Structure 1
Amino acid sequence: MKTCLVVDDSSVIRKVARRILEDLDFSIAEAEDGKAALESCRKDMPDAILLDWNMPVMDGLEFLTALRQEEGGDRPTVVFCTTENDVGHIAKAIRAGANEYIMKPFDREIVEAKFQEVGLL
């Protein structure tokens, strides 16, 4: 079973993402900010990361930059999931190592399509 770390400061978003991804046969871990996510990855590197941009402590871009420098940090497929939808933010995310980008709000069809595009399904 593939694993996905859902990183978002909103417990509601984490819960919705968990339900969708569990239905797609992923085992789910959760983190409420980038710092907690990085600690989780150091213990057990996931196959995929669904990542929010705007979070306290360490935001998504800071997390992604740090993740890609970790041993094995190049392996997870990272899908940003955020309200930041301008071209500048998307370009920054891709340059930092994101594999794909989803706009909030999202639903199962969007998540499934993006995860298929990056070869996770």
Structure 2
Amino acid sequence: MAKKILIADDALFMRVTLKNILEKNGYQVVAEASNGLESLDLYQKTKPDLVTMDITMPEMDGITAVRELKKIDPQANIIMCTAMGQKQMVLEAVAAGAKDFIVKPFQPDKVLEAVQKIIGV
């Protein structure tokens, strides 16, 4: 059975790009959130194996969402999606419980490497 992934990013283009990379490689994207609050709700409804979380989003930013997700599920697997120049925020996100990060614009091999490292194929 395909591993389930939730994508949280406020940019539709980024969600579509990530979804295409993941689905072409056998993963199932079970939900897409456009902000941190929505990601919490969808996480509880879909119980994904992994969440890709953008850092900068409306309503609730990715770092806060990581902290809240970890309260809901301490075992949650989260990969942060970051633009260049957000190193300090990435460190904060990892401290909050994210397991890895990928840099935008997405490079398919880097995305898959991070995902496989955490949840396998």
Q: Shared topology, TM-score over 0.5?
A: yes
Matched letter for residue 45 of structure 2: K
Is the counterpart of residue 35 in structure 1 residue 37 in structure 2? Answer: yes
Q: Deviations over 1:11-69 (max 9, x none)?
A: 00000000011112111110100111101112122100111000000110111100000
Identical-residue share of aligned pairs (%): 29
- Shift >4 Å, 4+ stretches: none
* Corresponding residue of 1:83: 83
Indicate the SS of the match to 2:58.
coil
Gaps of 5+ in 2: none
* Corresponding residue of 2:51: 49
Pairwise CA distance, 1:86: 4.4
Cα distance in 1 between the residues matched to 2:64 and 2:89: 13
Q: Contact 1:9 / 1:55 at 8 angstroms: preserved in 2? A: yes
RMSD of aligned C-alpha atoms? 1.4
Cα distance in 2 between the residues matched to 1:31 and 1:12: 13
**TM (normalized to structure 2)?**
0.91
Deviates more, 1:41-50 or 1:81-90: 81-90
Matched letter for residue 26 of structure 1: Y
Indicate the SS of the match to 1:101.
strand
- Size of the aligned set, in residue pairs, is 119
Matched letter for residue 77 of structure 1: N
Distance of aligned partners of 1:67 and 1:15 in 2 relative to their CA distance in 1, 3 Å threshold:
same
Pairwise CA distance, 1:77: 1.4
